[in-house]
Amino acid sequence: MVRRLPVLQNPDTDDAAAARRPRWHWVLIGAGFVITLFLPLSQLGVWVGSSLTRNAEGTVGTARIVLGAGPVAFSFLLACGLAGTLVGRFGGKAQAPEAALSGVIGSALVWALAAVGGALTPWPVAVFSLVVLVVFGGGAAFVGARLGLARRV
């Protein structure tokens, strides 16, 4: 008779634990992704925007503002979209609405960081920027989650 060693099996894999995680966990994880991805991307966006405005000496004021703020806005949309993609791809029970909510919460956190830094001095600018960040951040996270859901195994 041949003796065989018992095979130890891990009853709980990381994927199974992620699938059992409640949806609201993924909302908070996605909001953390937004902040974590946006901070380094915004530094890159500030660098690109400053080099674009430095090279565009003959343009009018509005075009210089767009050239300076455009890369930072793009980095914000990219961060929200990537966070939504991660929630959609690995989120277990979480779907696109939860990813959109994580984009909204992450956008509010980004707005709060800007407010603490003193970038939102007149209150109409603060309110308008909060609305714009929440709408576009939630939308980008929703679209990213739809892309991530398509790649879910």
**What is the C-alpha to C-alpha distance for residues 84 and 41, in angstroms, rounded to an integer?**
16
Q: Are 30 and 92 in contact (CB under 8 A)?
A: no
Q: Where are the domains of the chain?
A: 24-150
Does residue 14 surpass a pLDDT of 90? no
DSSP H helical segments within 56-122, as ranges?
61-90, 96-116
Structure tokens at 139: 């939308």
| Sign of the C-alpha dihedral computed for residues 35, 42, 98 and 144 taken in this order | negative
CB neighbour list of residue 133: distance below 8 Å, 6 or more residues apart: 76, 107, 108, 110, 111
Structure tokens at 78: 């990219």
CA distances from 52 to 21, 25, 132 (A): 44, 40, 23
**What is the C-alpha to C-alpha distance for residues 37 and 78, in angstroms, rounded to an integer?**
9
**What is the C-alpha to C-alpha distance for residues 25 and 35, in angstroms, rounded to an integer?**
16
Does residue 41 surpass a pLDDT of 70? yes
Mean pLDDT of the chain: 89
pLDDT digits (tens, 9 = 90+) for 130-146: 999 999 999 999 999 99
pLDDT digits (tens, 9 = 90+) for 75-130: 999 999 999 999 999 888 889 999 999 999 999 999 999 999 888 888 898 999 99
Reported confidence tier of residue 153, pLDDT bands at 50, 70, 90: low
pLDDT of residue 128: 94
CB neighbour list of residue 45: distance below 8 Å, 6 or more residues apart: 71, 72, 73, 74, 75, 76
Question: Among 14-28, 42-56, 98-112, which stretch is predicted with the lowest mean pLDDT?
Answer: 14-28
Percent of the chain whose predicted confidence (pLDDT) is above 90? 60
Does residue 36 surpass a pLDDT of 80? yes
**What is the C-alpha to C-alpha distance for residues 72 and 102, in angstroms, rounded to an integer?**
20
Does residue 37 surpass a pLDDT of 70? yes
